[in-house]
Amino acid sequence: MRFELLTLGGSKFAGTAASVQLTTVDGEIGILPHHESLVAQVIGGPVVVKVPGGGTEIFATFGGLLEVEKNVVRLLADEADHAEELVAEEIEAALARAKELRATAKDKHELARAQEQIDRQAVRLGVARMHRRIRPQRPTSQQ
């Protein structure tokens, strides 16, 4: 099946997928070739794309709209970060800053913005850690 991950910044993935896993407002969903037509709201979390040949691509997304039709899966999202672009140490620092903002929020608007940043960074950190666990280990050269 064809999978497309489209953001406001452009295409993050367009190609053949053996399966796609993500989370909708109704729970986790796995999509395989020839899935029935579907439109669903996606919530923040990892999008795991298994590609033919055994590879895996992982993205952190922060919600969007999923459309499945005629063996084409399309995810429209405001933002998506590829796991390889994520640096856990930087995300942990951003998460700490967001928690500080939440602790010092002066009103409900500041509190909501801080919580949104915490949620976003938590998704990114989870994807970075997931990527670190599943990426293939490269053999080390011995001399």
The model's pLDDT over 86-142, given as tens digits with 9 standing for 90+, comes to 888 888 898 899 999 899 989 999 899 988 888 888 888 888 888 766 554 333 344
CB atoms inside a 10 Å sphere around CB 22: 24
Query: What percent of the residues of the chain are helix, what percent strand, and what percent coil, each to the nearest 5?
Result: 30, 40, 25
pLDDT digits 0-9 by tens, 121-132:
888 888 888 876
Tens digits of residue pLDDT in 34-74 = 999 999 999 999 999 999 988 899 999 988 999 999 999 99
pLDDT of residue 141: 40
Structure tokens at 122: 């938590």
Cα maximum dimension of the chain: 61
Q: Which residues pair with 10 in a beta bridge?
A: 7
| pTM, entire model | 0.81
